[in-house]
Amino acid sequence: MADEPTGVRLRVRGRTVAEYVLDDPEVDPRWGRRPYLHPVRTLAGVVVTDTLPEDHRWHLGVSVAMQDVSGTNLWGGRTYVRGTGYTWRDDHGRILHDGWLPEPTAAPGGGFAERLCWRDPAGRILLTEERRVVAAELPGRTDAWLLDFGYALTAPADRDIRLGSPATNGRPDGAGYGGFFWRVAPGRHRALTASAEGEDRANGSTEPWLALVGEAGGRSYTLVFAGLADGDHWFVRTGIYPGVCVALAFARTLPIPAGTAVRRRHRIVVADGELTRAEVERLGMAAERVADRPAPAT
């Protein structure tokens, strides 16, 4: 891999299923500039991500971002202020690619690993991140593939860092977003979990998996998300916009003591077609078998 490529292409079964953008000059600093995956596609070529949508310009494909990192907005857009609501503030930081790490165990072209720096508006380091991403086949399936996304956020040695959200800053309606976030392509969508269906019941839940069934250009697809850690919640939207987040600070702030790290690993199945709950369960089991192989570790 070259020292400073402009991006990375992930391939499964000889097809490009995702493109990783290191730095997009089209992203205004107010939108929280950061690396992201877009477009992400099914094996049949259906695009299942969106970036810079008109309704939320700071939604960038598949990325990791927080609205409150010890007072810095690394999500983008307005900041939720307790007692005031959403407010434009000069508090936007930036997440920067800081070099490549040895690639994770994967098929050629199927993965990458990198270092990133989370910086405040003055350029000071808030967090360092190690990220490992793998695109893999699902054995016996030609209609689905697996995205394995792991990351670790480490606080500086000399100070604690606190992760927060609009909910922890006073917003009352379950808007505890922030963490691994997938802005889904426009179209019709519905959310389901192992025991519930619909945005209202899925949002804020801690089910072992969450699926989003969508349609784009007359072709249906299903995204199956897994990988909640203790304290995480699902944040999901299907109404005002489609998106899924593994929320790190849904109901309470998440402290990262000085010199320590928060680690997460998520598995997402990207499948063609509208899957039933039983089919989602079977795909999830296949994904867990793939994820058990030596692969991205942070």
pLDDT per residue rounded down to tens, the chain (298 residues): 334 446 799 999 999 999 999 999 999 999 999 999 999 999 999 999 999 999 999 999 999 999 999 999 999 999 999 999 999 999 999 999 999 998 765 555 589 999 999 999 999 999 999 999 999 999 889 999 999 999 999 999 999 999 999 999 999 999 999 999 999 999 999 999 999 999 999 999 999 999 999 998 899 999 999 999 999 999 999 999 999 999 999 999 999 999 999 999 999 999 999 999 999 988 876 667 675 654 433 3
In a domain, 163, yes or no: yes
261-272 β-sheet, strand order: 94-100, 111-119, 125-137, 144-154, 261-272, 219-226, 209-216, 188-193
Please state, in angstroms and rounded to a whole number, the distance separating the CA atoms of residues 52 and 59.
Answer: 6
Give 288's contacts (C-beta < 8 A, 6+ positions apart): 226, 267
The predicted structure's pLDDT at residue 139? 87
In a domain, 2, yes or no: no
Most distant CA pair in the chain, distance:
54
In a domain, 142, yes or no: yes
Residue-number span of the structural domain to which 243 is assigned: 7-291
In a domain, 45, yes or no: yes
Q: Does the model's pTM come out above 0.85?
A: yes
Contact 48, 185 (CB under 8 A): yes
In a domain, 1, yes or no: no
Indicate left, alpha or beta for 62 from its phi (over 0: left) and psi (-120 to 50: alpha): beta
For 32-59, b where at least 16 C-beta lie within 10 A, e where not — what string? Answer: bbbbbbbbbbbbeebbbbbbbbeebbbb
In a domain, 296, yes or no: no
The predicted structure's pLDDT at residue 282? 84
How many residues in the chain? 298
* Half-sphere exposure (Cβ direction) of 66: Cα atoms closer than 13 Å: 26
Give 42's contacts (C-beta < 8 A, 6+ positions apart): 17, 48, 143, 144, 145, 221, 270, 271, 272
In a domain, 87, yes or no: yes
The predicted structure's pLDDT at residue 2? 38
Counting the structural domains of the chain, the total is 1
The predicted structure's pLDDT at residue 289? 65
In a domain, 298, yes or no: no
Please state, in angstroms and rounded to a whole number, the distance separating the CA atoms of residues 68 and 29.
Answer: 16
Q: What Cα–Cα distance (Å) separates residue 259 from each residue in 155, 157, 231?
A: 5, 4, 21
